């Protein structure tokens, strides 16, 4: 391996992109392979360490269902559309969204550590040629109502530390920006991304940082993942978690309870439990509002308050996420 390439980059090259190679690795029978999509507009992208956690010769594994394209994606539903949260309507530039008061979101990259089959941004028209953030920085400078910048994508941790350092340097010079928030799934699949260089970058930032991971099942959270997130916590940076409620993955009481307990035992605060964004191809993941409310009620009865995420849905043109009462 090349010594000048960060370890996480080297590990990322081991991701599964070939459906046939993954099916062989998972030892799927010829019968089960009939339920897998051999090709899709949204390509397979799965870190090897997550593939190693998947039960062999089964399509019911909660990790497999999140990342492997199944024929269920061909089920049509009028409610499930290409741009379910109307991101394009809120674009100030191809890489900056402004939906809510006091906040702006930078679509830092189209790249992810993994491709979730329910991703609401899988059809987003990413800007892939212009790698700079000059236009976005100028808009942020001009709008002193913006106190928080959310780094999203894709996944902002797909950027190298050099690119992130440059972005941090520009944000540091804008006095009215007080907070920087990461939205990332990277540590779940490639925890090696949280290396000494990245931790040093976080520690050097004068702005208040919030680090928000996306995790949906306790099987994703092993000691390697929790260990690197503890390193972020030791910098005084709050670590929170967002979860998407998914049928066949985490729509059972004990699964969600185990997930929340694993998070809080690791010092991570469950932040949001999202009702699924109705993106085309994801209707088989839908959970009814009634069941969602019941699940959160169960969590509230069995967890300390700080361990119970807020149940919400994103609805375009609302001034905030829409809470569902539980």
The verdict on 66 and 215 lying in the same domain is no
Q: What is the CATH number of the domain that holds 196?
A: 3.20.20.70
35 in Cβ contact with 86 (< 8 Å): no
Q: Residue 2: what pLDDT?
A: 52
The verdict on 289 and 310 lying in the same domain is yes
Q: Domain range holding 92? A: 87-323
**Measured distance CA(274)–CA(314) in Å, rounded:** 8
Q: What is the pTM of this model?
A: 0.96
Q: Does 134 reside within a domain? A: yes
The verdict on 49 and 163 lying in the same domain is no
Q: Does 2 reside within a domain? A: no
Q: Does 79 reside within a domain? A: no
232 in Cβ contact with 269 (< 8 Å): no
Q: Does 1 reside within a domain? A: no
The verdict on 63 and 135 lying in the same domain is no
Q: What is the CA radius of gyration of the chain?
A: 19
Q: Does 277 reside within a domain? A: yes
Q: Does 81 reside within a domain? A: no
The verdict on 110 and 218 lying in the same domain is yes
If one counts the domains in the chain, the total is: 2
**Measured distance CA(202)–CA(233) in Å, rounded:** 11
The verdict on 317 and 264 lying in the same domain is yes
Q: Residues in the chain with pLDDT < 70?
A: 1-3, 326
Which of 47, 74, 101 marks a domain boundary? 74
Which of 51, 74, 97 marks a domain boundary? 74
The verdict on 27 and 163 lying in the same domain is no
The verdict on 62 and 138 lying in the same domain is no
The verdict on 163 and 289 lying in the same domain is yes
Enumerate residues 6+ apart whose C-beta is below 8 A from 316. Answer: 85, 86, 89
The verdict on 96 and 47 lying in the same domain is no
Which of 43, 74, 105 marks a domain boundary? 74
147 in Cβ contact with 106 (< 8 Å): no
The verdict on 145 and 243 lying in the same domain is yes
The verdict on 279 and 187 lying in the same domain is yes
180, β-bridge pairs: 149, 209
Q: Does 166 reside within a domain? A: yes
214 in Cβ contact with 239 (< 8 Å): no
């Amino acid at each position: 391996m090349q010594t000048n390439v960060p370890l996480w980059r080297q590990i990322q090259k081991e991701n599964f992109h070939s459906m046939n190679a993954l099916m062989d690795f998972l030892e799927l029978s010829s019968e089960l392979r009939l339920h897998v999509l051999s090709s899709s507009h949204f390509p397979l992208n799965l870190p090897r360490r997550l593939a190693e956690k998947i039960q062999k010769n089964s399509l019911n594994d909660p990790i497999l269902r999140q990342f492997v394209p199944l024929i269920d994606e061909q089920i049509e539903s009028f409610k499930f559309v290409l741009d379910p949260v109307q991101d394009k309507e809120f674009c100030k530039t191809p890489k900056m969204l402004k939906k809510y008061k006091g906040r702006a979101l930078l679509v830092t990259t189209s790249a992810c550590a993994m491709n979730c089959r329910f991703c609401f941004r899988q059809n987003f028209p990413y800007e892939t040629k212009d790698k700079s953030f000059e236009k976005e920085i100028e808009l942020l400078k001009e709008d002193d109502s913006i106190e928080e910048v959310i780094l999203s994508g894709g996944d902002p941790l797909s950027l190298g530390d050099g690119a992130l350092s440059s972005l941090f340097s520009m944000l540091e010079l804008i006095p009215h920006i007080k907070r920087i928030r990461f939205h990332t799934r990277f540590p779940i699949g490639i925890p090696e991304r949280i290396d000494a260089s990245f931790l040093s970058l976080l520690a050097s930032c004068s702005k208040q940082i919030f680090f928000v991971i996306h995790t949906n099942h306790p099987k994703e959270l092993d000691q390697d993942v929790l260990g690197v997130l503890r390193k972020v916590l030791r910098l005084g940076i709050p670590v929170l978690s967002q979860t998407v409620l998914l049928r066949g993955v985490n729509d059972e009481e004990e699964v969600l309870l185990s997930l929340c307990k694993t998070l809080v035992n690791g010092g991570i605060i469950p932040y949001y439990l999202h009702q699924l964004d109705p993106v085309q191809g994801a209707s088989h993941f839908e959970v009814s509002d009634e069941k969602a409310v019941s699940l959160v009620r169960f969590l509230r009865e069995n967890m300390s308050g700080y361990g119970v995420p807020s149940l919400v849905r994103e609805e375009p043109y609302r001034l905030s996420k829409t809470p569902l009462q539980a």
